[in-house]
């Protein structure tokens, strides 16, 4: 007896249906997110003349790392770069980062500075004196590069949003100290401080030189040294006569 031929149509329909479900699943085919950036502003409400701090925190997946902000000569990784667009607010100093680790990177064959697990990047901004009250959106662009021990991903840009509120009122001292410190520790301030230190050091050295010279003169008058002066002079005079 010949058995009836089984149709494969239901099986094909099942496979097609499964493929449609997989394609329709949210996030299907998207690469896993290996780092997440968040931003916060302190204080969240600032006044004209004050300084605010933008902190961008990175949460990094295990076994992956991103690199520090110090450029590495080629061939090397893309360093992390922080750029803040803050409307009328202006940057105070350069961006800073949390402590990095240093190790030999097998991807580039050189020692590099990098962040694992988490990192914090900071940029200070100054609110202008003529800033109007209102909400100011901030956009921080982080250019970064991710690697693990065997592979590196191409450099990417991530935009992180935050908001600061400008309110009316006089600047508060606790939020203006940072700006004053940044101004005094800049290039010109550091140079001036170094020059003042050298001048003070030179001034404090002169009394010591005079004191040492005076002590030497007094030592010549002691009972042990004074009788030896004629003998020493006679010795050197005799040596000079012999050479002449």
Task: Please tell me which residue, 176 or 38, carries the higher pLDDT value.
Answer: 38
Whether residue 100 is predicted with pLDDT greater than 80 in this model: the reply is: yes
- In CATH terms, the fold of domain 32-185 is Immunoglobulin-like (2.60.40)
Contacts of 223 (CB under 8 A, 6+ apart): none
Count Cβ atoms below 10 Å from residue 164 Cβ, excluding itself. 21
**Separation between Cα atoms, residue 87 and residue 127, nearest integer Å:** 10
The confidence score (pLDDT) of residue 178 equals: 52
Instruction: Specify the range with the lowest mean pLDDT, choosing from 21-30, 172-181, 208-217, 224-233.
Output: 21-30
Q: Residue range 41-60: average pLDDT?
A: 97
The confidence score (pLDDT) of residue 32 equals: 72
DSSP track, 80-146? PEEEEE-TT-EEEEEEEE---EEEEETTTTEEEEEEESEEEEEEEEE--TTPPSEEEEEEEEEEE-E
3-class secondary-structure state, position 241: helix
- Reference 83, options 51, 121, 35, 47; nearest CA is 121
Question: Across the strands, what pairs with 242?
Answer: none
Residue 33 binned pLDDT confidence (cut-offs 50, 70, 90): confident
Q: What is the pLDDT of residues 186-215, one digit of tens each?
A: 433 333 334 443 433 444 455 544 555 555
How is the chain split into domains, by residue range? 32-185, 203-243
The confidence score (pLDDT) of residue 14 equals: 37
Task: Please tell me which residue, 55 or 217, carries the higher pLDDT value.
Answer: 55
The confidence score (pLDDT) of residue 95 equals: 97
**Separation between Cα atoms, residue 168 and residue 130, nearest integer Å:** 10
pTM of the entire structure? 0.61
With contact defined as beta carbons under 8 Å apart, do 46 and 52 qualify?
yes
Whether residue 226 is predicted with pLDDT greater than 80 in this model: the reply is: no
Contacts of 155 (CB under 8 A, 6+ apart): 78, 143, 144, 145
- Reference 44, options 162, 129, 170, 159; nearest CA is 162
Tokens, residue 205: 């050295």
Q: For residue 66, give the DSSP letter.
A: E
The confidence score (pLDDT) of residue 214 equals: 56
Contacts of 57 (CB under 8 A, 6+ apart): 37, 38, 39, 40, 118, 119, 120, 121
The confidence score (pLDDT) of residue 241 equals: 46
């Amino acid at each position: 007896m010949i058995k009836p031929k089984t149709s494969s149509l239901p099986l094909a329909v099942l496979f097609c249906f499964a493929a449609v479900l997989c394609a329709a699943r949210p996030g299907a085919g998207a690469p896993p997110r290996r780092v997440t950036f968040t931003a916060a502003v302190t204080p969240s409400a600032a006044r004209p003349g004050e300084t605010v701090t933008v902190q961008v925190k990175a949460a990094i997946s295990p076994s992956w790392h991103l690199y520090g902000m110090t450029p590495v000569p080629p061939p090397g990784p893309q360093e992390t770069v922080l750029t803040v667009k803050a409307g009328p607010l202006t940057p105070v100093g350069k961006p800073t980062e949390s402590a990095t680790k240093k190790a030999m990177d097998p991807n580039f064959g050189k020692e590099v500075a990098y962040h694992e697990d988490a990192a914090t990047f900071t940029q200070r901004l100054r609110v202008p004196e003529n800033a109007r009250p209102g909400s100011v959106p901030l956009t921080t662009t982080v250019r970064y590069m991710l690697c693990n021990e065997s592979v590196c991903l191409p450099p990417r840009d991530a935009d992180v949003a935050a908001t600061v509120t400008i309110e009316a009122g006089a600047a508060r001292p606790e939020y203006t100290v940072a700006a004053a410190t940044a101004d005094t520790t800049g290039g010109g301030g550091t140079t001036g401080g170094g020059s003042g230190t050298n001048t003070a050091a030179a001034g404090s050295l002169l009394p010591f030189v005079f004191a040492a010279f005076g002590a030497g003169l007094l030592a010549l008058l002691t009972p042990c040294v004074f009788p030896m002066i004629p003998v020493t002079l006679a010795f050197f005079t005799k040596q000079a006569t012999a050479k002449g």
